[in-house]
Amino acid sequence: MAAADVIVLGAGIIGVSTALQLARRGKAVALVDRGEPGRETSYGNAGLIQREGIVPYGFPQQFGQILRYTLNNRIDAHFHWRAIPSVSSFLAKYWWHSNHARHQSIARAYAPLIEHSVSTHAELIEEAGAQALISKHGWSEVFRTNAKRDHELREAERLKREHGVAFEALSADELAAREPHLSKDFTGALRWEDPWSVKDPLALTQAYVRLFEKLGGQVLKGDARSLSKTATGWRVKTADGDVEAKDVVVALGPWSEVVTKPLGYDFLVGVKRGYHMHYAPKGNAVLNGWILDAERGYLLAPMNQGIRLTTGAEFARRDAPKTPVQLARAEAVAKTIFPLGERLDAEPWMGARPCTPDMMPAIGKAPRHEGLWFAFGHAHHGLTLGAVTGQLIAEAMTGARTLIDISAYRPERFNA
């Protein structure tokens, strides 16, 4: 039987970053997952470290907007009718927390995490030698109407004033100069200056894993459901035998419930599924930066694998078969604004984002078990918050002063 100081369950970007941050602090860490690191939800994101993402994605509050979503014909949101009964409790609480006053309060509590997103990744990226995977030119929202442009620019001004977020307003001509192969459908753009973009999210996770192993960490294949309590800590079964440790971190994203529920915790974590596909550009067309079509709800990203088209949220059971109708809708629109060529993937990729009703992750010690820690529920910001979450968990576990106050993310808000 092998021994470690800490077992980290889950090798997505949150789990890998947590394991790495612990290893950097001298802990012997076993990182356990049923598959290869970074191959699940962390593989298919938009590749953005969103320093501007202060305000988490809320549930629509206007009746007319909700009514339009019930038509179920949009790119930014889609749902399975059969799944609604099973997710209704989550959706009701998500809607309640998205009330304007509550949403603004949540954003203020969420802001400190976001504010350290780039800086904490920067340390790990340098140590891992992964600088070639990073673009530091921000990303852009493009607008089809002046009304939408003006509304988003006002919000950007507020975020700059209250949180120091930098942005640039681009006219239609300035946007065309930056993206000459984009269509002329847009009245202008909002370019967020602070975020970093990742050209290959899987490769970044793998670079972190290599650094983790260089520091003595172990990557093992095992089933998190085998976790059991021992007299001195925790044990999990792996392909290389049992591993025991005093502490365990649950960083299983949308699968965290396979560990938390048997231990008596109920986090009411919902799932927003998302899809992507890579494309070759036609001819000599070039997409220079990450582009969100703000009024349609899809994003184009110039990744190393090709131009990645990502969709919005699909509300469905986590393990239901793929239904990539949003991707088909997005592809049809995206081809009218940029010369996308052939598909480069055999089939659409799908991932599941783990979302809490109050839009903030669970980060911290379990209230009823010694040596049990939680780090999941990051919704759309898993990549963004990977490094800072890992640092906060590592600091809390080693008794250091945490970079920020983590009481707003405490698991007790769901489980007393």
Q: pTM, whole model, 2 decimals?
A: 0.96
Q: Is residue 241 included in any domain, yes or no? A: yes
Rounded CA gap, 189 and 187, in Å?
7
Any domain includes 14: yes
205 within domain boundaries: yes
Asked, for residue 293, whether it belongs to a domain, the answer is: no
Averaged pLDDT in 10-residue chunks for the chain of 416 residues: 92 98 98 96 95 93 80 90 89 94 96 98 98 98 97 97 97 98 97 98 98 98 97 96 97 96 93 97 97 97 98 94 96 98 97 96 96 97 98 98 97 82
Q: How many domains does the chain have?
A: 1
Q: In CATH, what number is assigned to the domain containing residue 123? A: 3.50.50.60
Give the other-Cβ count within 10 Å of 295's Cβ.
17
Q: What is the pLDDT of residue 416?
A: 56
pLDDT at 380: 94
CA separation for the pair 6, 15 (Å, rounded): 12
Extract the runs of DSSP E, i.e. beta strands, from 136-182. 139-143, 167-171
- Which residues face 140 on adjacent strands? 191, 291
Domain membership of residue 9 (yes or no) is yes
- The answer as to whether 318 is a domain residue is no
Is residue 220 domain-resident? Answer: yes
Question: Quick one: pLDDT at residue 152?
Answer: 97
Where do runs of H (alpha helix) occur along 297-414? Answer: 325-337, 382-397
Backbone angles phi, psi at 80, to 5 degrees: -95, 120
Host domain of residue 224:
1-58+98-129+196-269+356-416
> For the chain, what's the residue count?
416
d(CA 90, CA 86): 9
Question: How far is CA 186 from each of CA 166, 172, 288, 332, rounded to the nearest angstrom?
Answer: 22, 6, 16, 17
Beta strands in 181-337 (DSSP E): 188-192, 196-198, 218-221, 228-229, 234-238, 241-245, 247-250, 270-281, 291-293, 298-303, 306-310, 313-315
Assess contact for 187 and 145: CB atoms under 8 A: yes
Q: Tell me, what's the pLDDT at 1?
A: 62
**Dihedral (C-alpha) 195, 199, 201, 203: value to the nearest 10 degrees?**
-130
Residue 187 lies in a domain: no
